[in-house]
Amino acid sequence: MPFEVSDLAEMDAPEKEYLWTLNFGPQHPATHTTLRLVLTLDGETVVNAVPHIGYLHSGFEKLGEHLDFNQYVTIVDRMNYISPLANEIAWHHAVEKLLGIEITPRCKYLRTILAELMRLHDHLLNVGTTGLDLGAFTAFLYAFYQREKIYDIVESASGQRFHTSYTRVGGVMFDVNNAWVDKIRDFLKGFMPVHAEVHRLLTRNRIFIDRIKGVGYLSPEDAISMGVTGPLARASGVLRDLRKDEPYLAYPDLDFKVVASKDGDCYGRYLVRMQEMLESVKIIEQCLENIPAGPVNIDAETHIVPPAKPSVYRSIEGLIQHFEVMMPNRGYTTPREEIYAATESPNGELGYYIVGDGTPRAYRARTRPPSYIHFAVFPHIIKGHQLSDVVAVLGSLNIIAAELDR
């Protein structure tokens, strides 16, 4: 386990003087983000690893106590910036649960499509960079070209490529049109051959398999005890997927499989992610066929969402309603209650614990970040492996430091 005092005493013993210490990070290309590891090495074998985190700590949770539910969405999408919309959807899922809002069917489908696009986005990055770190550059380029197309899709929905701030309490910022739906159809058509190509490049590639097969084994018991969720847990054989276990959004209506593996190593995680992408494509295709018509936001009579623009510009009632929603000293009341709500983000269970105090801003906005939980596992699974396996294991855990440190 992470850092045990007994380990240290043992390493300081005179007969262990041949051990040496390597500082890995905070700025290292293979960490992808800013995190630091202090590795104790016996030759090239890692004896112990002590992570030091907090380099990107910027007080997001403190800010969450000072911004209202819609303003804070600009902060949450900077947490896991590899799949920003997944964070926004998780945040507003929690807020809407606190407020007791049932979003419209169209919004549910829209958010499901976006959440699954984000899963593709995240897994593409992970698969691509795992290849890149281990010397397979081509797969990385293929993956990033597809990510660029997802950026385009997100941009045409929200006007932003990256930090979209697209969701709102009770809906989304703008509705989408049919051209957007066609754009996703085009993307999916192009995506399938590329996915097959990455499969051909990596899955049976001898060098790639030698580098990751049997490396970083995590047993199902440890995975459960250490709180691991998402693709990591499923690669260890823990069958838990919140999309099935605690269905939210449009997931109850959709037909998809939970992908799992018994390997528990980096190769298993890679295979789970590759297969999950195909399931995501299936989900998106079903959503596109069945996306309902109708309003995307909840009724303006609830005084939670601003009314439609024509009504604001042309009627005094609309203007007053808009004013009531937008002014900082107005707004709606929240229940004086506490809620924990989680969604299945690409990385695992992304939960928010929100304490409402009657105002439209959280008294406490806690994030349960999957990266944080998963990085605690790292020292446990790297022990006994080679120094060159550090990048393979780090890659397979998919640590995003902005989410790790918040």
Partner 1 sequence: MSTEDVLKSKFPDDALTFSQFRDNHRVVVPAAKLQAIFNCLKSDLGFDMLSEVTAVDYLEYEGATDRFGVVYVFINIATGERLVLKTFVNDPQPTLPSAYSLWKSADWLEREVFDMFGITFTGHPDLRRILTPDEFTAHPLRKDYPLKGRGERHNFPIVTRADS
Indicate the burial class of 38 (C-beta count within 10 angstroms; 0-12, 13-18, 19 or more): middle
Tokens of 400: 């995003």
Q: How many CB atoms lie within 10 A of CB 140?
A: 20
Q: How many CB atoms lie within 10 A of CB 244?
A: 14
Smallest distance, partner 1 to C-beta of residue 403, A = 12
Nearer Cβ to partner 1 (376/387): 376
Q: What is the spatial distance between Cα 368 and Cα 348, in angstroms, rounded to a whole number?
A: 10
Smallest distance, partner 1 to C-beta of residue 102, A = 11
Measuring CA to CA, which residue among 78, 98, 3 is closest to residue 355? 98
Nearer Cβ to partner 1 (318/346): 346
Nearer Cβ to partner 1 (230/307): 230
| AA identity, residue 403 | E
Task: Give yes or no for a contact between 223 and 232, defined as CB atoms under 8 angstroms apart.
Answer: yes
Smallest distance, partner 1 to C-beta of residue 22, A = 21
Smallest distance, partner 1 to C-beta of residue 349, A = 6
User: Which residues of the chain form contacts with partner 1 (CB under 8 A)?
Assistant: 1-5, 53-54, 57, 59, 61-63, 66, 97-98, 100, 222, 224-227, 229, 238, 240, 245-246, 336-342, 349, 351, 353, 355, 357-358, 363-364, 366, 368, 372-373, 375-376, 405-406
Indicate the burial class of 110 (C-beta count within 10 angstroms; 0-12, 13-18, 19 or more): buried
Tell me 29's DSSP state: G
Smallest distance, partner 1 to C-beta of residue 89, A = 17
Nearer Cβ to partner 1 (128/264): 264
Measuring CA to CA, which residue among 142, 88, 100, 94 is closest to residue 277? 142
Smallest distance, partner 1 to C-beta of residue 246, A = 7
Measuring CA to CA, which residue among 298, 261, 329 is closest to residue 108? 298
Nearer Cβ to partner 1 (161/366): 366
Nearer Cβ to partner 1 (131/170): 170
